[in-house]
Amino acid sequence: MTLTRRLALALALAMMAGPACAQACLSPPERRQAVQAGQAVPLGQITRQLRPEHRGEVVRARLCRSGGNLVYLLTVVDRRGKVMRLRLDARSGHLDQAR
């Protein structure tokens, strides 16, 4: 997948997310604080834990609040170009939802 195509895909996905999700997501300093406080595992650890069927290039990653918990929302593109949206528990790394 070319860089231009990846950027276009990331932009399209960002526009679909809408403002409601952006309001609940943490800023970079908040993310660092959550990881340091043990409320979330580092993103690198999360991506290494993904099952083979969910692995690919992470084109977007957000750490957001959801129902009092923190979740990672990942957009992953596999080698064939299939786009997956994953929701993982930020503390354990367990997959909550895949679309």
Q: What is the mean pLDDT of residues 53-73?
A: 93
Q: What is the mean pLDDT of the chain?
A: 84
Predicted local confidence at residue 57, as pLDDT:
93
- Greater model confidence, 9 or 23: 9
| Alpha-carbon span 72 to 11, nearest angstrom | 19
Q: What is the mean pLDDT of residues 2-6?
A: 60
- Rg (alpha carbons) of the chain, rounded to whole number: 13
Count of domains for the chain: 1
Please state whether the predicted TM-score (pTM) of the whole model is above 0.85.
no
Degrees (nearest 5) of the Cα angle 93, 14, 7?
100
Domain that holds residue 12: 3-98
